[in-house]
Amino acid sequence: MAESVKKWYVVRAIGGQENKVKTYIENEVARLGLSDYVDQVLVPTEKVIQIRNGKKVNKEKVYFPGYIMIQANLSGELPHVIKSVTGVIGFLGETKGGDPVPLRKSEVNRMLGKVDELAVQNENVAIPYILGETVKVVDGPFNGFDGTIENINEEKRKLEVMVKIFGRKTPLELSYMQVEKIS
């Protein structure tokens, strides 16, 4: 078989079942002998530290829920085979009855770069905040509020932020990811 150009495509899958669907796709492609057309099937994940019962637990979290990346030469029956796999909704960007649209090179690099970045990211990041610093809440019910850091808990990676709500100061416990510096 002549070496064909393989492009990256995004397959929409049922959320929460990305890894299962990835396995289904790989098995189906292998079963039908189409492995030459598919280079890799990828579920971008990031390492997340969760605290369960006071213990740190490393967990892989899907970075793009509901999406699977596939590097393949989509010719012949392959798009139909992939679409017929259990849990696959379809290809991203395809028009009804049209061909799947490949990702642009810049999108692929950014995405793969993101995946690589997340895989090698150091888990113990230096504390990016200091006491008395003003931060903006970017996540949760108090999104958009500004507050002052009163306390930093390095172990739990939490901040105690004093926010003014209805003229009263209220302490909030927020993770590092729920706030951002005000420049």
Number of Cβ atoms within 10 Å of the Cβ of 38: 20
Predicted confidence (pLDDT) per residue in 16-45, tens digit: 899 999 999 999 999 999 989 999 999 888
Q: pLDDT tens string for the chain (183 positions)?
A: 445 678 999 999 998 899 999 999 999 999 999 989 999 999 888 777 777 776 777 888 888 889 999 999 988 888 889 999 999 998 887 666 667 888 888 888 887 777 666 665 545 455 678 889 999 988 888 899 999 999 988 877 789 999 988 889 999 998 888 888 886
Map out the domains of the chain with their CATH numbers.
7-120 (3.30.70.940), 134-181 (2.30.30.30)
- What's the token pair of residue 89? 């909704």
> Would you say 21 and 14 are in contact if contact means Cβ atoms under 8 Å apart?
yes
Residue 63 CB-density burial (10 A; 0-12 exposed, 13-18 middle, 19+ buried): middle
CA nearest neighbour of 161 among 183, 134, 138: 134
- pTM of the shown model: 0.57
